Amino acid sequence: KQEVTQIPAALSVPEGENLVLNCSFTDSAIYNLQWFRQDPGKGLTSLLLIQSSQREQTSGRLNASLDKSSGRSTLYIAASQPGDSATYLCAVEGAGANNLFFGTGTRLTVIP
């Protein structure tokens, strides 16, 4: 069974810092990897999706990379803002599987 781990579980940074969130997965046979954002009491908002044939995706201040062979992905947030405070979830879809396997998330706090 695919296991997804996110480190750190919580992170607090001052506004303006660049930061990296980490995600690792145990089975490298994945179809794609998706990063989500979840605000307290809310649903999941998709941030970036990386298909298995891709190495990275960018959207604005966000950049996600994927290294399938090592089972790792990183989400880079540039010039962090208080509005970036949320929980960030990493999820992988296994090849041939109709399911997303989720990590337990990194709770990010950006201090003004």
Partner 1 sequence: DAGITQSPRHKVTETGTPVTLRCHQTENHRYMYWYRQDPGHGLRLIHYSYGVKDTDKGEVSDGYSVSRSKTEDFLLTLESATSSQTSVYFCAISDIVTENYGYTFGSGTRLTVV
Binding site for partner 1 (CB under 8 A): 1, 4, 31-32, 34, 36, 42-46, 49, 51, 54, 57, 89, 91, 93, 98-100, 102-105
Q: Work out how close the CB of 62 gets to partner 1 at its nearest, in angstroms, rounded to a whole number.
A: 14
Would you say 48 and 75 are in contact if contact means Cβ atoms under 8 Å apart?
yes
Q: Work out how close the CB of 57 gets to partner 1 at its nearest, in angstroms, rounded to a whole number.
A: 7
Q: Work out how close the CB of 48 gets to partner 1 at its nearest, in angstroms, rounded to a whole number.
A: 9
CB nearer partner 1, residue 18 or residue 26: 26
Cα separation of 109 and 50, whole Å?
25
Cα separation of 55 and 42, whole Å?
30
Cα separation of 11 and 112, whole Å?
14
Q: Work out how close the CB of 39 gets to partner 1 at its nearest, in angstroms, rounded to a whole number.
A: 11
E strand segments, 4-71: 4-7, 10-14, 19-25, 30-38, 44-51, 56-59, 62-67
CB nearer partner 1, residue 26 or residue 104: 104
CB nearer partner 1, residue 4 or residue 110: 4
